[in-house]
Amino acid sequence: MTKKHSHSKHETPADEKNTRAPAEEPATAPEAEPVPAAAEKAPPPASEPPEPLPHQLLRLQADFENYRKRMAREKQDWIAFASEKLVLDLLPVLDHFELGLADSARNGTPAAFTEGFQLIYNQLRAVLEKAGVQVIEAEGQPFDPNRHEA
């Protein structure tokens, strides 16, 4: 009869040394050289005397005030830019309202419809005027590239 051998993994003493060797080695940290106390705090350059604390505080306060003003100005610029884009997008709508009103007068559209159309047009114009949009009378005038668009 044959004996069946179990094939289990046996560790040899050499394997044990290899697995334990890194754990048993003492960790050697590179020793830092002591830094002299005089080198830790470097004195300010001889050409520039240290600024007194009240002057530093005043300078810091002025810098913060300038920062606050700059942020407020940038916020206003963003608001103006956003409203400018909105107004530019609404101008073609206003032009189409004008064309619709002119067409409704020619085609005999019912008066109630034309009156409602006129009220909406007036409201839209009032909103745009409140935003700073002004009508430029360009018809019959020579072209001025500073005021007119081609």
Query: How high is the pLDDT of residue 33?
Result: 58
Highest mean pLDDT of the ranges 8-17, 42-51, 71-80: 71-80
Res. 86: pLDDT tops 90: no
Query: How high is the pLDDT of residue 82?
Result: 80
| pLDDT tens digits, 18-67 | 555 455 555 555 555 555 555 556 655 667 766 678 888 999 999 999 99
pLDDT band at 138 (very low <50, low <70, confident <90, very high): confident
Half-sphere exposure at residue 101, Cβ-oriented, CA atoms within 13 angstroms: 14
Q: Identify which has the larger pLDDT, 4 or 80.
A: 80
Cβ atoms of 103 and 121 closer than 8 Å: no
Compute CA 121 distance to the chain's CA centroid, rounded to the nearest angstrom. 36
Beta-carbon contacts of residue 7 (< 8 Å; ≥ 6 apart): none
pLDDT, mean of residues 137-144: 79
